Amino acid sequence: MMKGALFDMDGTLVDNTPAHMRSFELFCNRYGVRDWREKLSSAFGMGNEDIMRLIMPEEVLREKGFQALAEEKEAIYREIYAPEIEPVAGLVRLLERLREAGIRCAVGSSGCKANVDFVLEKCGIGEFFDTRISGDMVSRCKPDPEIYLAAAAALGLHPDECIVFEDAPAGIESARRAGAGRIVALATTLGIDDLNAVPGFDLAAPDYRWLLGEKVFANLING
């Protein structure tokens, strides 16, 4: 039986890709960056430093620095997303079911701490998570396994005792490399057809409601 559940955040706790895309558009327009959309398509699930390195001109990176640029972009995101934020369908009930089953939960996100705290607070789900690992707490973000290794360790568990919930190829690879016991992929960011082309996960679902049936849930936690 699984003992822990490790949740990615973006696209997994909240279906926030449209909000991030709007914030990237506003942010990049400030710096005259026009080709960001094509470059960003390969960066879902990565940390802000890797994303900034991918989309921003070298001269802007030298002048502003990675941290300042990341903070500027994420402040835009939180401002525009706050009025509409809500958890992915079925998430709250799944978290309740996991707690009833004695399974402890952690967040393992490449996002910054401010964004993790923002999502958990605004969605009213902070009480369900025993620990929060964010991208600014590790030296290497996804697809490196460090985030999920740290999240499992913070729960006092080995990764093979944990279910990981993910939505992006970088995160699925991170969970696989960490040795997760089971990987559930949500078809929020990519859609089910594109998601099925990604290797490394055990089960795909459109949202959490599909996982709440007695038989499916029992199979999920029993490994």
Positions marked active-site: 8, 10
Contact yes or no for 85/16 (Cβ under 8 A): yes
Letter for the amino acid at 171?
G
Alpha helices (H) in the chain, listed in sequence order: 17-30, 36-40, 48-55, 58-64, 66-81, 91-100, 113-123, 146-154, 169-178, 192-195, 214-222
> Backbone dihedral region of 99: left (phi > 0), alpha (psi from -120 to 50 degrees) or beta?
alpha
Residue 182, phi then psi, degrees to nearest 5: -155, 140
61, with CB counted inside 10 A (0-12, 13-18, 19+), is middle
Gyration radius of the chain over CA positions = 17
CA 154 to the chain's CA centroid: 17
Contact yes or no for 8/166 (Cβ under 8 A): yes
Give CA–CA dist 15/33, Å, rounded. 25
